Amino acid sequence: MNGERALDLVAGARPNFMKVAPILRVLGAGPLSPRLVHTGQHYDEGMSGVFFRDLGIAEPDVYLGVGSGSHGQQTARILAAYEEHLVRTRPAAAVVVGDVNSTMACTLAAVKLGIPVAHVEAGLRSFDRTMPEEINRLVTDTLADLLLVSEPAGEENLRREGIADGRIRYVGNVMIDTLVRELPGARALGVTERLGLPAGGFAYVTLHRPSNVDDPARLARLANLLGALGARLPVVFPVHPRTRERLRGTGLEGQLASAPGVLLLEPLGYRESLGLMAGARLVLTDSGGVQEETSYLGVPCLTLRPNTERPVTVSLGTNVVVGEEIERAWPLIEEVLAGRHKAGRPIPGWDGHAAERVAAALAERYGGQNRPAGPRDPG
Ligand code: UD1
**d(CA 282, ligand 1 centre) in Å:** 25
Looking at domain 6-173+350-367, which CATH architecture does it have?
3-Layer(aba) Sandwich (3.40)
Q: Is the pLDDT of residue 376 over 90?
A: no
Q: Binning pLDDT at 50, 70 and 90, where does residue 218 land?
A: very high
Domain 181-337, CATH: 3.40.50.2000
pTM for this model (two decimals): 0.95
How far is it, in rounded angstroms, from Cα 199 to Cα 111? 49
Q: Is 71 a catalytic residue?
A: no
Residue 169 is predicted with a pLDDT of 98
Using one digit for the tens of pLDDT, what is the confidence trace for 293-339?
A: 999 999 999 999 999 999 999 999 999 999 999 999 999 999 999 99
Residues 170-190 pLDDT 10s: 999 999 999 999 999 999 999
> Taking the domains of the chain in order of start, what are their residue ranges?
6-173+350-367, 181-337
- pLDDT band, residue 30 (cuts 50/70/90): confident
Residue nearest to atom 39 of ligand 1 (CA): 242
- pLDDT of 294: 98
Per-residue confidence at 157, pLDDT binned at 50, 70, 90? very high
**How remote is the CA of residue 205 from the centroid of ligand 1, in Å?**
17
Task: Quote the pLDDT of residue 28.
Answer: 85
- Residue with the nearest Cα to atom 21 of ligand 1? 42
Ligand 1 and 43: CB distance under 6 A: yes
SS3 state at 122:
strand
Which of 96, 242, 266 to mutate to test ligand 1, by most ligand atoms within 8 A of the CB atom?
Answer: 242
Tens of pLDDT, residues 237-271: 999 999 999 999 999 999 999 999 999 999 999 99
Q: How far apart are CA 107 and CA 293, in angstroms?
A: 26
Rounded-to-integer distance, Cα 273 and Cα 200, Å: 15
Is residue 369 very low, low, confident or very high in pLDDT (cuts 50, 70, 90)?
low
Closest residue by Cα to atom 13, ligand 1, is 13
Count the neighbouring beta carbons within 10 Å of the beta carbon of residue 184: 8
Q: What does the pLDDT average to over 66-73?
A: 97
Question: Residues of the chain with pLDDT > 70: what percent?
Answer: 96
Residue 170 CA to its chain's centroid (Å): 18
Q: Which of 208, 240, 341, 353 is catalytic?
A: 208
